[in-house]
Amino acid sequence: MKNLMIVLFILMLSGNASATAQFPDYLFYKGERFPIFSNPLESYFNAKNPRPSNLFAYSCTACWRGYVATWKIEGGYLYLTKLNEGTCASDSEEIPLSKIFPREDAPVKAVWFSGTLRIPQGKQLQYVHMGYGSVYEKELLLTIEKGRLIKEDVIDNTKKDIPSDEEKTMEELKKLKDWEDSIKKEKN
């Protein structure tokens, strides 16, 4: 993975970055299905709850994490409802939630997650071919604390300067490196 990072960095500097935008997770909220540019399940994995590499095999450049999760907000709480393999195939296999949460029934309340769910809305203003770097007219930001929805904000990106492709790519490379470092920590 370190070599991949070096190659991506060199390609980015040359202006020809060829990293891949990622498949989003999905969230059902207020009767609608939204793609989310956040991966709440990632914060579950740590030394106590190691990432099950046998379940999340890397098989598609558009899904480095190896899965696509489906979520819902119900009764003011975030729940994990479904996991699918992160393949590039449209008919990917479902991963039973019991493989990760053996003592819980689905849906699983996401009490481990505190952070922001970023939901793109409107027209795409800038495409960044890496991670979740693309910029849309608006972003719905849902702040979650220990699984509970505590705040909802809307950011209007049409009223602010959009970072350059290079800046957004560097931001996404940093996120990828941080994610890679967290996986290495889990293994130690």
The residue-averaged pLDDT of 143-148 equals 98
For residues 58 and 51, what is the distance between their CA atoms, to the nearest angstrom? Answer: 13
pLDDT the model gives residue 135: 81
Tens-digit pLDDT profile for residues 4-54: 444 444 334 333 334 577 889 999 999 999 999 999 999 999 889 988 878
Instruction: Tell whether the model's pLDDT for residue 155 goes beyond 50.
Output: yes
pLDDT the model gives residue 30: 96
**pLDDT band with cut points at 50, 70 and 90 for residue 178:** low
Query: Which H or E run contains 29?
Result: strand 25-29
Beta bridge partners of 29: 32
pLDDT the model gives residue 143: 98
pLDDT the model gives residue 129: 73
Kindly report the pTM of this predicted structure.
Answer: 0.75
For residues 56 and 59, what is the distance between their CA atoms, to the nearest angstrom? Answer: 9
Share of residues in the chain with pLDDT > 90 (%):
47
For residues 36 and 5, what is the distance between their CA atoms, to the nearest angstrom? Answer: 24
Query: How many angstroms separate the first and last alpha carbons of the chain?
Result: 16
SS3 assignment, position 33: strand
